[in-house]
Chain A
Amino acid sequence: MLKRYKLKGLRTYGLSGAVLAISTVLTLSNVSCSKFLEAPVDNRTLIVTLPDMEKTLNQLMPYSDHHFTDIMSDDYIFRDLAGHNVEDAVNQILPIFEFDICRQSLPATRFLSSGFNPVSAFRRYYNCIINSLLIIDKLKAYTAASPEEEKRVKVIRGKALAIRAYCNYMLVNLFAKQYNPATAASDKGIPFIEAYSGEPVVGYKQVPVQKVYDEVIKDLTEALTLVEDQPLQNPQFNFSVDAVNALLSRVYLNKKDWDNSIKYANDLLRRRNTPLNVKNLRNTIVDYMQYSTAYFNPANASYILMGNNTYQLLAYFWMGMYPYPAVQMLRDEGADPQNNYVIITSALHNDYVPQKLMLFQSLATRSGNLPLLTVDEVLFNRAEAEIEKAKGMTPQAQADLTLLINNQTFRNDSAAARIAALPKLTTRDAAIQMLLRIKRIRFSSEGMRWFDMRRHNIPVTHQGRSGTYKIDGTKPEDYVIQLPTEEITRNPDL
């Protein structure tokens, strides 16, 4: 039939008829084969279903990428042990320790490739931001089929917003000046991504610190209305109402908005006031491996949000970086009766490694999960905001700090002495100092110290390989890590 028609067409209309006939057939078949041409190439996913979006967010949950900042804090020293240190690793860690990263822009190649460095932190935070924006975009294209799906869409949007906010917040706290209400509107912030784009190169302008904080708070405030109260699965690895509250209390604390910090801390602590009792844990578990496992168990009620996997955490202990000052501080404070730092004897040298980190040593578990947001931190946040607001100790701050002191590995007498001292800390400085000391003990080697030092302009001196490196605490710009060279050279809008 078709052939006859074509033949007739050819005879009657000549060439143009044939072309017409063929193109009609082609057009028809083109319509029908569009599905054929949309078939998936392999078992990749184009992230169009809600479960796929949720899974993408699982992957986008932040890592503890800020952890390299421990090396910049006053907890660490460098021991130049020829023949013991892995030399090229030392070369790649030293720019962090010697604050090179704060003075000049460095390329990724100057650092360990394991991820323990500012450049990979920068990249990963942005990867999470871009892709959470992608998910938000994909959600817009999605039509919910049922009320249940509508609810799910909301939760996904909330989580994506929270991830974006967390990453923007961490970026601005690493790569820009500490928030100062007086200068925030003009202080240079970070390259800011307004919206998702699939183009290969898109320029991102550096916006002021104020703008980043505004966006973070905007995202988090919206997220708070969307995210689940208590996610059914893996709540510790999801942004829940608790996590957003905890993060808001931190953000407002850094913004020096004491009332809001206290408000969100209260919101969280009303729901769960379950700090980790480290003392109890340490006293009941003798074996360091089991202690470490119990310490980092996501089931601990204190842990509101755990980081996704992290790099081989112990690596830097073998590169000449040792937490001697932290050990010294713990001992001076009477907070290390059980020897919280294990001594590993190598052929050449004794290495000090926190026992709680031993979990990350075994071959099978080179990477693990560190807590990002904890009830403990929120207690510290509330106490700090209270003290700052009252310019001295308050009953609430005193109660919080008492609880926190009792939870630490202090000898009984040291704990008692500190608790007794609390009411006498009438000045803001004395109270803050006490708080920061307890916080330093609580979160030792967990990547919190640097941000406290930044917020309070705490000076630090490092004895490097070829000199002494100092941040004297007078210039907030000293605490700013410079943008990676790759960013400066390739971002068309910088």
Chain B
Amino acid sequence: MKQSITHFPSLCCVVITQLLCSSTVMASSPAPLPASAAPRYYYSEKAVLDLQGVVKDEKGAPLPGASIQIKGTNQGAIADANGVFVLKNVTPGTTLIISMVGFKSREYVVASATRIQIVLSPNNNIGEVVVTGYQTLRKIDYAGAATTVRVKDIKVPSIGTLDKMLQGQVAGVAIQNTSSVFGTAPKIRVRGSASISGINEPLWVLDGVPLESPLNIAPSELYAGNARNLLASALSTVNPDDIEDITVLKDATATAMYGTRAVNGVIVITTKRAQKSAPLRVNYSFNGTYSLKPSIRDFDVLNSKDQVELNQELFTIYDAYLQNFTANISGPYSDLLNQYNRKEITEAQLREKIRDLKTVNTDWFDALYKNSFTQQHSVSVSSGSDKTSTRLSLSYYDDPGKTLGEYAKRYTANLVNGWQVTDKFFAEVMLKYARRDQRQPGTQVNPFIYARDASRAAKPYDDDGKYKYYKKGYADFNIIQEIDNNYIKLQNSDFSGQLNLTYNITPKLKASGLMNMRFANSTIDEIQTENSNYAEQFRADEFRIRDFNERLYKRPGSPSYELPQTVLPEGGILDKETVESRFYTLRGQLEWTVFDTKQHKLSLMGGMEVTQNKQTSSFSRNYGYRADSKTFASSPLAYERLQVSNSLPADERRMYNGRNLLQGAAAYVNDFTRNAVSYYSSLSYNYSGKYVLDASLRNDATNVSGRATRNRFLPTWAVGGAWNFTEESFLEGISNVVSNGKLRVSYGLRGNAGYRGPELVAYYVNIVRPSFPAYNTTGVNIVEAENSSLEFEKEYMFSTGIDFTLFDAMDFTVNYYNRKNFDLVGYKQVQTSSGYQTKLFNWADMQNRGMEASLNIRPIKVVGDFKWSGMVNVGYNKNTVLSDYQGNNPSVFDATVSEGFARKGMPVTGLYAFPFAGLNDQGLATYRDSKGGTVLGFPNASRDLSNIVYQGSRDPMYSGGFTSNFAYRNWLLGVSFVFNTGHVVRKADYYRGGTLSSLYRDDLNQSGDFAYRWRAKGDEAFTNIPRLLLPDDVNDYINLGFFDESVFGLYNRADIRTINASFLRLRNIILQYNFSKFARSLRMQGLTASLEASNLAVFASEKFNGVDPETILSGMNMPPVKSFTFSLSATF
């Protein structure tokens, strides 16, 4: 790996030098004049002529800026604004190479004509071919449902990764951008969800090779918002400027080649390549994005005055109770009370200071966010001769961060080189390198969460300009200081090398091979320095709190009079995780055109593929870390505490699949290997260009599916048919109205291979005997029982659709599909005597039905030079769980989680809530039970799901977008909207934390709803917000059998807290100007500049009170902010 990297820059240098050498001569010789006029006489028999030509596109429009080069020399000319060029003294027989960005280069042999017209056809006519990753097929021979988009049409420079840009661009692809942090993955569903417990994300394919995220991340972990999520997006290493186009393969025929990984759809990305026989081109593009910080005024929270008054009231009610926990956590109000209790201030001062508190009104967004300027530079150089073609691109992305303590930098380098070795043999080498440096505030100090939730009466700095401290975990806490001292540093480098070989054995038989190796190394350091509050919590050992501070340690079995002590006398904590990923793909295939006559065309394809994904991550927790000197203080007790304790606080555990990997250890390694051998074949038959039959078959064998051969080999197959109806003679009459018409239908079996397999799953565990470490030992824990009849998840997919073009101006596509997902794997309760509570079964069925429609309007002349074009797409998906999926016999609280819950006859992510029945005359919330009665709550263990009501799907049922482009001469104005609708979410908790002790903390603000709470009898007619709970109420609730969750959680999950999550986002507005004249004067191929405003507005339910509806509020997820981008693209 190391060696490959070190070789890489030198390789790049060679290529650059080569390219520059060949270009300097050309650039410095502007006129195509021969060296001297004199020799003309000697060659008089060979007449020379002055040539005037015009370069046009297929529609007859002139192509200004096209370059004309005399083959074999560095001389040539450039077409003017009317596409006209003049070459003097040209010898007949000379070959000219005419090229233009976006068009296929062509050659012209000079004859006797002096006035010539040259027509260039557009490059990569993507309407004509479909790239499946295994093959490039003529669209006319293709029966699958695939949508191709060009990056330039969907690009949003401020986003940085391609996956998030895809939102709203392809019908049937629903994308929820859950976080705007660089490197996190959006939630993508192609035609709905296919699995209940497994992977639902589509497969990404880059230049024919599946692209995995740099670490193996469990489906349940994907949107968890922890440090590993920074590596969740597979696309973070790909520079969007290097991508030519993206094809989304949606139905069974289209995805059949991907076998057991195809069930969630496949997104194929093709990178740019240089054309053969194309002159040297250099492109530089720049994007600068200015992002604005959000404001607390976008959120509905109490202001300082209301907040402090609420705290005062609560402290009166809960005096003893609240005084207790303020030693652990304090906010502005309890901080003053503490000073008063310690007689540091007088009562008069206390009153005065409380009055001051009411006017603080800190906007934490202002304090923690910054207006930032992100920039991205890309340079690409491409050139081609008739034997080779080369493209090299370099890019640099620099995001200084939208919040304090945040930045991301990415460097990419891509090199593609193609050689036409012989007439029959073509070889291509692709080298890709990406490096990323990123810093994020630590998992526990998310600036967004803090800015949203912290009391506005608290402030970052004291009156004297020093940090203002509050208590957290018994130690001093200031968010700004903490962000400086508690952070994640991520470094990732990703190198891939690919060799594509094609050998045309005969004109009808083609053999091709592909070899890809990709190495990705990542380091995630989560650092809590010695000055962080987190480290200080380990040292908070004042006598009053010693017995309460869980970070202190008392050796088991030590005498009862011994006090808990600190285990971290010096330094902080370094959690270091390194992830090494190795991906190998080897593929060989044969494509054979059996016959190709006017009537029949039959092609066969078959191949074999071997892949290996190896991911190793190692984690270590290191105590005593001195961040400045990068040294460690000795802290033996800290390790002892970690290894001995069975009850560490949750933030000191590392849970994975229900195991605490730090049990009895300070480090662990997680290995993951997926080996697969696959055979695939396909048949494509076309009868007189009208009728198409496609069929394919694939067999996957993997190591993850266990040893039971029967289940390891699952042939997936698909058949599809298409009718190019506009080719029919009876429709010839209307061919100027309808063209490119195609009716498609397909059916097939796809699979979803989980990582479980039928074998039992057992891991080593450390059996720790805390008080008697001499008896510690190792066990093997059988986590999951064997299920010898476990199989892959499967799906039958029926898909049909129609494509046609109206008046050569509007492209329509309408699709319908029906997915029957069966043998879905899920946990099911089993008899107790089986020794397990649940086992993994193939037993659930699910259905996805949907429609997609898209309309693309090609540029239409509105008036004069004013043209308009547009795009609309919408996808509808209805997901229904067909089995009575109950998993672990859920309680009403399990079934009402905000992420949604799978129930029979409902969507897999159905959201459920408790039916609110209004406030009673005491101002307490009541709910309707299934018997029609009104109750004050449901016990935690209640399992009667008839007491909860369905609210709607958590995933959008409709998603799509529309774009409108106005062009006037060199100006272009584009407006693009995206939307998701038909789904619901739950408002952020009214009772934060869900327990009494976390509820009335004065370091947090409360939702603005508190201002409308019930205060006096009669209020229940006007408000749904319950009154403050008195200690007596709490006792009453307890006597009724209701505890924290069944009081607070119930209200948080009441149906009145559900919000329609539909939104329409003004994704971006772009204004672009093409400096064609100016560019020509500089002998450039093109120069465009654009201004873009992103994320200007979101139209969503008012109930969100300004919170972005796409952002699931947890962990490190941060919502997108408004931004403005300046872009420049220059081609030489």
Bound together: yes
What is the interface of chain A, defined by CB distance below 8 A to chain B?
3, 6-7, 10, 15, 18, 22, 25-26, 29-30, 33, 36-47, 52, 55-56, 58-59, 82-83, 87-88, 91-92, 108-110, 119, 122-124, 126-131, 134, 191, 193, 198-202, 204, 233-234, 236-237, 287-290, 292-293, 296-299, 308-309, 358-359, 362-369, 483-484, 486-487, 490-492
* Bound-complex Cα distance A128 to B782 (A): 10
The yes or no answer to B831 lying at the interface (CB within 8 A) is yes
B778 touches A490 (CB 8 A): no
Contact flag A359-B557 (CB < 8 Å), given A123-B836, A365-B646, A484-B832: yes
Chain B 556-582, CB-CB to A under 8 Å as 1, else 0, gives: 111111000000000000000000000
* Cβ-defined partner of A55 (8 Å) among B702, B780, B788: B780
The yes or no answer to B427 lying at the interface (CB within 8 A) is no
A-contacting residues, B874-907, CB 8 Å = 889, 891
* Bound-complex Cα distance A483 to B558 (A): 42
The yes or no answer to B592 lying at the interface (CB within 8 A) is yes
* Bound-complex Cα distance A119 to B835 (A): 11
A109 touches B712 (CB 8 A): no
B707 touches A38 (CB 8 A): yes
A33 touches B833 (CB 8 A): no
B559 touches A122 (CB 8 A): no
In the complex, what's the smallest C-beta–C-beta distance from B653 to chain A, in angstroms?
A: 14
* Cβ-defined partner of A52 (8 Å) among B553, B675, B780: B780
B831 touches A122 (CB 8 A): no
B833 touches A289 (CB 8 A): no
In the complex, what's the smallest C-beta–C-beta distance from A314 to chain B, in angstroms?
A: 12
Chain B 698-709, CB-CB to A under 8 Å as 1, else 0, gives: 000111100100
A82 touches B1039 (CB 8 A): yes
B673 touches A41 (CB 8 A): yes
A3 touches B1039 (CB 8 A): no
Closest 5 CB pairs of A and B: A59-B779, A127-B835, A293-B557, A198-B788, A490-B831
Please give, as numbers and ranges, the residues of chain B lying within 8 Å of A363 by CB-CB distance: 550, 554, 645, 647
A10 touches B553 (CB 8 A): no
A41 touches B674 (CB 8 A): yes
Chain B's interface size range is: 35 or more
A126 touches B645 (CB 8 A): no
In the complex, what's the smallest C-beta–C-beta distance from B754 to chain A, in angstroms?
A: 11
The yes or no answer to B671 lying at the interface (CB within 8 A) is yes
* Bound-complex Cα distance A48 to B671 (A): 19
Subset of 23 A-B contacts with CB under 8 Å: A22-B590, A25-B608, A26-B608, A40-B671, A41-B673, A42-B672, A42-B673, A82-B1038, A82-B1039, A83-B1035, A87-B1043, A88-B1043, A109-B891, A200-B785, A200-B790, A293-B556, A293-B557, A297-B771, A298-B769, A364-B641, A364-B647, A490-B831, A490-B832
Which residue on chain B has the smallest CB distance to residue A312? B647
In the complex, what's the smallest C-beta–C-beta distance from A458 to chain B, in angstroms?
A: 29
* Cβ-defined partner of A366 (8 Å) among B560, B647, B704, B833: B647
Most buried by A among B703, B780, B781: B780
A-contacting residues, B599-613, CB 8 Å = 606, 608, 610, 612
* Bound-complex Cα distance A486 to B888 (A): 12
B646 touches A45 (CB 8 A): no
A-contacting residues, B698-740, CB 8 Å = 701-704, 707, 712
A290 touches B557 (CB 8 A): yes
* Cβ-defined partner of A364 (8 Å) among B561, B608, B701, B770: B770
In the complex, what's the smallest C-beta–C-beta distance from B773 to chain A, in angstroms?
A: 11
* Bound-complex Cα distance A122 to B836 (A): 10
B1041 touches A88 (CB 8 A): yes
Q: Kindly specify which of B388-396, B758-766, B1054-1062, B1119-1127 makes contact with the partner chain.
A: B758-766
* Bound-complex Cα distance A258 to B920 (A): 69
B702 touches A37 (CB 8 A): yes
* Bound-complex Cα distance A135 to B645 (A): 30
* Bound-complex Cα distance A288 to B557 (A): 10
B829 touches A486 (CB 8 A): yes
Please give, as numbers and ranges, the residues of chain A lying within 8 Å of B673 by CB-CB distance: 39-42
The yes or no answer to B644 lying at the interface (CB within 8 A) is yes
The yes or no answer to B293 lying at the interface (CB within 8 A) is no
B839 touches A42 (CB 8 A): no
The yes or no answer to B349 lying at the interface (CB within 8 A) is no
Contact flag A126-B832 (CB < 8 Å), given A10-B509, A15-B594, A39-B673: yes
* Bound-complex Cα distance A483 to B672 (A): 41
The yes or no answer to B511 lying at the interface (CB within 8 A) is yes
In the complex, what's the smallest C-beta–C-beta distance from B323 to chain A, in angstroms?
A: 14
* Bound-complex Cα distance A202 to B832 (A): 11
Sample of 16 further A-B pairs with CB below 8 A, known A33-B701, A42-B672, A130-B835: A25-B608, A26-B608, A37-B675, A40-B671, A58-B767, A59-B780, A109-B941, A122-B832, A129-B835, A198-B758, A199-B788, A289-B560, A290-B560, A359-B771, A364-B647, A369-B769
In the complex, what's the smallest C-beta–C-beta distance from A477 to chain B, in angstroms?
A: 21
* Bound-complex Cα distance A91 to B777 (A): 37
A55 touches B834 (CB 8 A): no
Please give, as numbers and ranges, the residues of chain B lying within 8 Å of A198 by CB-CB distance: 758, 760, 785-788
B1041 touches A204 (CB 8 A): no
Please give, as numbers and ranges, the residues of chain B lying within 8 Å of A292 by CB-CB distance: 557
B835 touches A126 (CB 8 A): yes
In the complex, what's the smallest C-beta–C-beta distance from A450 to chain B, in angstroms?
A: 20
The yes or no answer to B837 lying at the interface (CB within 8 A) is yes
* Bound-complex Cα distance A87 to B891 (A): 18
Please give, as numbers and ranges, the residues of chain B lying within 8 Å of A18 by CB-CB distance: 592
A-contacting residues, B943-980, CB 8 Å = 943
B777 touches A58 (CB 8 A): yes
A119 touches B832 (CB 8 A): yes
* Bound-complex Cα distance A101 to B553 (A): 40
B832 touches A486 (CB 8 A): yes
* Bound-complex Cα distance A110 to B942 (A): 10
Please give, as numbers and ranges, the residues of chain A lying within 8 Å of B608 by CB-CB distance: 25-26, 29
In the complex, what's the smallest C-beta–C-beta distance from B792 to chain A, in angstroms?
A: 15
B772 touches A46 (CB 8 A): no
Chain B 777-801, CB-CB to A under 8 Å as 1, else 0, gives: 1111110011111100000000000
B771 touches A199 (CB 8 A): no
Contact flag A193-B703 (CB < 8 Å), given A33-B610, A88-B1041: no
Which residue on chain A has the smallest CB distance to residue B557? A293
In the complex, what's the smallest C-beta–C-beta distance from A136 to chain B, in angstroms?
A: 14
Which residue on chain A has the smallest CB distance to residue B562? A289
A55 touches B779 (CB 8 A): yes
A38 touches B703 (CB 8 A): yes
* Bound-complex Cα distance A202 to B834 (A): 8
Please give, as numbers and ranges, the residues of chain B lying within 8 Å of A297 by CB-CB distance: 771-772
The yes or no answer to B217 lying at the interface (CB within 8 A) is no
Please give, as numbers and ranges, the residues of chain A lying within 8 Å of B770 by CB-CB distance: 364-365, 368
* Bound-complex Cα distance A236 to B590 (A): 65
Which residue on chain A has the smallest CB distance to residue B673? A39
* Cβ-defined partner of A7 (8 Å) among B509, B782, B943: B509
* Bound-complex Cα distance A296 to B787 (A): 39
* Bound-complex Cα distance A91 to B839 (A): 28
* Bound-complex Cα distance A486 to B790 (A): 22
Please give, as numbers and ranges, the residues of chain B lying within 8 Å of A123 by CB-CB distance: 832, 835-837
B677 touches A87 (CB 8 A): no
Which residue on chain B has the smallest CB distance to residue A89? B1043
In the complex, what's the smallest C-beta–C-beta distance from A164 to chain B, in angstroms?
A: 12
* Cβ-defined partner of B789 (8 Å) among A200, A288, A358: A200
Which residue on chain A has the smallest CB distance to residue B708? A198
* Cβ-defined partner of A56 (8 Å) among B592, B704, B757, B782: B782
Chain B 640-677, CB-CB to A under 8 Å as 1, else 0, gives: 01001111000000000000000000000111111101
Chain B 521-560, CB-CB to A under 8 Å as 1, else 0, gives: 0000000000000000000000000000010011111111
Which residue on chain B has the smallest CB distance to residue A238? B777
B645 touches A364 (CB 8 A): yes
In the complex, what's the smallest C-beta–C-beta distance from A124 to chain B, in angstroms?
A: 8
Contact flag A364-B835 (CB < 8 Å), given A56-B780, A58-B767, A288-B560: no
A126 touches B672 (CB 8 A): no
Please give, as numbers and ranges, the residues of chain A lying within 8 Å of B889 by CB-CB distance: 109
B943 touches A109 (CB 8 A): yes
